[in-house]
Amino acid sequence: MSKEIIKIEDLKREFTMGNETVHALRGISFSINEGEFVTIMGSSGSGKSTLLNILGCLDQPTSGTYDIDGLAVRNLSKNELATIRNEKIGFIFQSYNLLARTSALENVELPLLYNSKVSTEERKERAIKALEMVGLGDRMDHTPSQLSGGQQQRVAIARSLVNNPVLILADEATGNLDTRTSYEIMSLFQELNEKGITIAFVTHEPDIATFSNRTIVLKDGNIIKDYLNKEIQSAATELALLPVEDH
């Protein structure tokens, strides 16, 4: 059996809103193994954003345990959490979150700026490699405003790859993109997954889930479904089947 990247047991998260306690997660357990491509689905209010924040070490659970890459996250200080985010996790957001007026290369370099073990030369080298992996080797000097939405998301993906994370967390990464570009991005995710990168992809679009090998469905803070995909669609094939756009 391959290595467990994520191990969650009886995870609960409660928020206090005035006098009311909101149970965002009501004691969920699951594991994600190395090399899996998991989509986490659920309608709004299902707790998937809360789960994502905890998985991303941006938030701490109220109770239960969370191990990432063998490390227990609970009871870690803010600074220790920051180090985990820096070294083990790659984030991809719906709205790309690139730094404006900053070149693609510098955007990709960003996580490594906070890692004092990486030298300036190595930082640049790794950023170039990451950009080449997402097919933007020729756009390194472009700023976000000079790039299309799909290209901006590719830069964000390169940024998430640059620190060689054990897990990539994508939050509605295709939410701002049209179908064609979404499929392009999903095809890129599939390529990366084939190279052995573990991906957790939060979405509410069912067709996106068909590209992953496992789907976890949340509802009202509980896991209602957790199944392996028997027929994984190839995003590249789906892309080829799309009608040619009129220009």
Q: From the list 4, 14, 110, 142, which residue makes contact with another protein (rule: CB under 8 A)?
A: 110
| Backbone dihedral angles phi then psi of residue 5, each to the nearest 5 degrees | -85, -45
**To the nearest whole angstrom, how small is the minimum distance from the Cβ of residue 53 to another protein?**
5
Q: From the list 159, 182, 188, 238, which residue makes contact with another protein (rule: CB under 8 A)?
A: 159
| Backbone dihedral angles phi then psi of residue 8, each to the nearest 5 degrees | -120, 135
What lies within 8 Å, CB to CB, of 194 at 6+ separation is: none
Q: Say whether residue 179 binds another protein (CB under 8 A).
A: no
Number of residues that bind another protein (CB under 8 A): 26
Q: From the list 99, 224, 228, 240, which residue makes contact with another protein (rule: CB under 8 A)?
A: 99
Nearer to another protein, 88 or 214 (CB): 88
**To the nearest whole angstrom, how small is the minimum distance from the Cβ of residue 106 to another protein?**
8
Q: What's 19's DSSP letter?
A: T
Q: From the list 113, 224, 240, 242, which residue makes contact with another protein (rule: CB under 8 A)?
A: 113
Q: Say whether residue 16 binds another protein (CB under 8 A).
A: no
Cβ-in-10-Å burial (0-12, 13-18, 19+) of 16 comes to exposed
Give, as ranges, the residues between 66 and 85 that touch another protein (CB under 8 A): 78-79, 82-83, 85
Element (H, E) at 209: helix 206-209
Tokens (6 digits) for 202: 């939060």
How big is the chain, counted in residues? 247
**To the nearest whole angstrom, how small is the minimum distance from the Cβ of residue 142 to another protein?**
16
Q: Is 152 helix (H, G, I), strand (E, B) or coil?
A: helix
**To the nearest whole angstrom, how small is the minimum distance from the Cβ of residue 78 to another protein?**
6
User: Of the candidates 212, 234, 105, which has an alpha carbon nearest to the alpha carbon of residue 162?
Assistant: 105
Q: Which stretch binds another protein (CB under 8 A): 24-32, 100-108, 181-189, 232-240?
A: 100-108
What is the C-alpha separation between 228 and 231, in angstroms, rounded?
Answer: 9
Q: Say whether residue 139 binds another protein (CB under 8 A).
A: no
Q: Is 240 helix (H, G, I), strand (E, B) or coil?
A: helix
- Summarize as ranges the residues that interact with another protein (CB under 8 A): 53, 56, 58-59, 78-79, 82-83, 85-87, 91, 93, 97, 99, 101-102, 106, 110-111, 113-116, 159, 163
